[in-house]
Amino acid sequence: MFIVTSTVTVPPGKSGEVIDIYRNRSRRVDRADGFQSFRLLQNMKKPEELTVQLEWESKAAYLAWARSDEFKEIHDLEKNYPDQELAGIVPTVRQYEVVTE
């Protein structure tokens, strides 16, 4: 299993707006080959810190998604988000290989 996280710190008062965006997400990634699960995590001590966690069958499955036209389309939409304060946020992305369960 392969896990990818993407963490952002949103401006104060914007956490709820971002959470709503993810609650209403397109779910296009859910249909990608090798996709297993999506979670949005909120830091309990820093509620403005949000982390998307994606689980994949393998690194190859994730890379196929990350190189796809659909991935590019979704992320281009984020750049054009009307709230420029949110559109300009750059996430910290990390990748993990599950080594034991």
User: What distance in Å separates the CA atoms of residue 81 and residue 16, rounded to the nearest whole number?
Assistant: 16
pLDDT of residue 66 exceeding 90: yes
pLDDT digits (tens, 9 = 90+) for 67-87: 999 998 887 766 666 677 777
pLDDT digits (tens, 9 = 90+) for 43-52: 999 999 999 9
pLDDT digits (tens, 9 = 90+) for 16-30: 988 998 898 889 999
**Residue matched to tokens 């403005």:** 48
User: What distance in Å separates the CA atoms of residue 88 and residue 66, rounded to the nearest whole number?
Assistant: 20
H/E/C letters for each residue in the chain?
CEEEEEEEECCCCCHHHHHHHHHCCCCCHHHCCCEEEEEEEECCCCCCEEEEEEEECCHHHHHHHHCCHHHHHHHHHHHCCCCHHHHCCCCEEEEEECCCC
Mean pLDDT over the full length of the chain: 91
Q: What is the pTM assigned to this prediction?
A: 0.88
* Count of all residues that appear for the chain in the document: 101
Domain that holds residue 85: 2-97
Domain count, the chain: 1
Q: What is the CATH number of the domain that holds 28?
A: 3.30.70.100
